[in-house]
Amino acid sequence: MAAWRLYVVVGCFLAALFVMGGRVVYLHVFERDFLQDQGDARTIRMERINAHRGMIQDRQGKPMAISSPVVSLWANPAEFIEANEGMDQVALMLEIDPAEFRARMEKNRNREFVYLRRKLVPEAAEKVLALDISGVYAEREYERFYPAGEVAAHVVGFTDVRDEGQEGLELSYNQWLKGQPGRKKVLKNLYGEIVRDIMPVAEASPGKNLELSIDLRLQYLAYRELKSAVSGYEAQSGSAVILDVDTGQVLALVNHPSFNPNNRAELDINAVRNRAVTDVFEPGSTVKPFTVAVALGTGRYSPQSTIDTNPGYVRVDGKTIPDPANYGVLDLGGIIEKSSQVGITRLALDLNEYEVWQLFSAVGLGQSTGMGFPGERTGYLPNHRRWKDIERATFAYGYGLTVTPLQLASAYLTIASGGMKRQVTLLKSSGIHEERVMDERITQQLISMMKRVTEFGTGSKAALEAYSVAGKTGTVRKRKEGETGYDDTRHMAFFAGMTPAEHPRLVGVIMIDDPRKQGYGGGSILASVFSRIMSGALRMLNVTPQLPDEAA
């Protein structure tokens, strides 16, 4: 009986062993690929390889935005808590209150991934990793750095924590700059730690560099002078634009107030706005040369034609339009030189209002510049079915329409280029796109008239010692907030001009919003700012000074 039981036990054991052996053979032969895939799924992971974002450079190759390698620390909260070691030490090294840190880990205990600190410098991250605490891991990333800081912030913009463009050229050229991330297979242990890299699946493709037309030397110069002017005149804000006449390229574009894109902890959202392309204003007297151009184009007027401005004011539709003084009889150049409202009004009432509108539109007022900058405003160019006389008059001297500083600079670029409307651009290698919209002879006559503004007229402070300047001042009252009409105590001041006048190389526009100190006129406060910016810019660009007879 005992022997029989032994045979049964041995038989059962052998049968079980046979079944198990058969199962092993079956799994090894028939289920090997399936089991291998299942094992890999639990130990092999796909990891992202972050792509290096392209550099933004000025026209000389100087960096305006670069990406630096950084390390982001993350944790598996459950693993971190179970390890029960070094949590307070990690919190202190990351400058976080330990109690708050522990509460955060407990709150996220059921999650597998929580960032501890994004984008630390590698040295700081390595100190934390050197503690060798379970549940704390690292991810290699890149962080954007802007060497020019607030000086070029409105042009370049910035990226978010995911390295995606949010403002400026970082946003509009995001696809060009950001590149494509790669992927790789890695082997992880049961704690989620990467044991080793297995193989790359797709290589990361770095972003492409972006070469701008901006000259950082001019950018710094223009920003310094603009910032000084806004502060000195206690103004709300200001903008300045410098264009290259030959190419239409933007050499400098600055605004104040500005912001530091490298430290946005206490960012004022109002300072982020690129006012040179997003803010619109009535251009005032800066459009008077275009009204005079329409008169010259009719063939009924010449530069020597005169307008009687006596007695120093004119009544239109029951409204009085005055000059600061009675200028008497003025030729067309005198109207621009003195910035006579009466003279331009009487001239405008003798012109076809649609022809004035057509020229304003042809030079780009009320239209997008096509530069592709995010948030760019088109401004407003009214086109009434029937124009009242007062609308014809005010439109001719810059009220009732709105433009941006960049649009105004583009319009003056058309005069400086001999009547060719050139596409303005922020890119160095975009090519030249142009079309003729004004007669070259008329533009030369306008430049001669605008030279009188800087030699004897309202913009005499814009004159340069070794170069001739042609330009126009402008001052407009601001509209009352929430009301109709204008506020006599608040103004916007402008100066638009070009130099050297005979063969213009640069066009510049400067705008100051609501100056409160030392006057408010474009000629009294901005002509000198234009002079300082252009004087330095011409020297930096090695533009040969003019001989006395050339500048005359």
Q: Is the model more confident about 517 or about 439?
A: 439
* pLDDT band at residue 190 using 50, 70 and 90 as cut-offs: low
In whole angstroms, what is the distance from residue 187 CA to residue 192 CA? 9
Residue linked to tokens 């401004």: 379
Q: How many residues does the chain have?
A: 552
The CA radius of gyration of the chain, in Å to the nearest whole number, is 35
* pLDDT band at residue 21 using 50, 70 and 90 as cut-offs: low
In whole angstroms, what is the distance from residue 212 CA to residue 329 CA? 48
In whole angstroms, what is the distance from residue 534 CA to residue 467 CA? 10
**Which region holds residue 314: left if phi is over 0, alpha if psi is between -120 and 50, else beta?**
beta
What pLDDT does 186 receive? 55
Q: State yes or no: cis peptide before 500, omega within 30 of 0.
A: yes
What pLDDT does 27 receive? 55
Q: Is the model more confident about 139 or about 167?
A: 167
Average pLDDT, the chain: 87
- pLDDT beyond 90 at 549: no
Q: Which two tokens stand for residue 366?
A: 């009320």
Q: Which two tokens stand for residue 191?
A: 């704690």
* pLDDT band at residue 260 using 50, 70 and 90 as cut-offs: very high
- Per-residue pLDDT reduced to its tens digit, 438-467: 999 999 999 999 999 999 888 899 999 889
**In whole angstroms, how far apart are CA 25 and each of 14, 21, 22, 38?**
16, 6, 5, 18
* DSSP assignment of 108-142: TTT-S-EEEEEEE-HHHHHHHHTT--TTEEEEEEE
Beta bridge partners of 56: 65, 210
User: Would you say domain 47-82+107-211 falls under CATH 3.30.420.40?
Assistant: no
What pLDDT does 113 receive? 81
Q: Which residues, at least 6 apart from 154, have a Cβ–Cβ distance to it below 8 Å?
A: 168, 253, 254, 255, 258, 272, 273, 274, 275, 276
- pLDDT beyond 80 at 24: no
* Identical fold, 47-82+107-211 and 216-551: no
3-state secondary structure of 106: helix
* pLDDT band at residue 101 using 50, 70 and 90 as cut-offs: confident
Report the top-level CATH class of 216-551: alpha beta
* pLDDT band at residue 397 using 50, 70 and 90 as cut-offs: very high
What pLDDT does 141 receive? 82
Q: Where are the domains of the chain?
A: 47-82+107-211, 216-551
What pLDDT does 192 receive? 54
Closest CA to 495 of 465, 458, 449, 537: 458
Mean pLDDT of 104-123: 84
Q: Which two tokens stand for residue 468?
A: 């001739």
What pLDDT does 137 receive? 80
- pLDDT beyond 60 at 189: no
Residue type, 213: S
Q: Is the model more confident about 67 or about 43?
A: 67
Q: Is the model more confident about 115 or about 185?
A: 115
Q: Determine phi and psi for 428, rounding to 5 degrees.
A: -70, -35
What pLDDT does 384 receive? 87
| C-alpha dihedral (475, 481, 487, 492), degrees to nearest 10 | -10
* pLDDT band at residue 193 using 50, 70 and 90 as cut-offs: low
Q: Is the model more confident about 392 or about 47?
A: 392
- pLDDT beyond 80 at 160: yes
Active site residues: 285
- Per-residue pLDDT reduced to its tens digit, 50-90: 778 899 999 999 999 999 888 888 888 877 777 667 788 88
Residue 195 DSSP code:
E
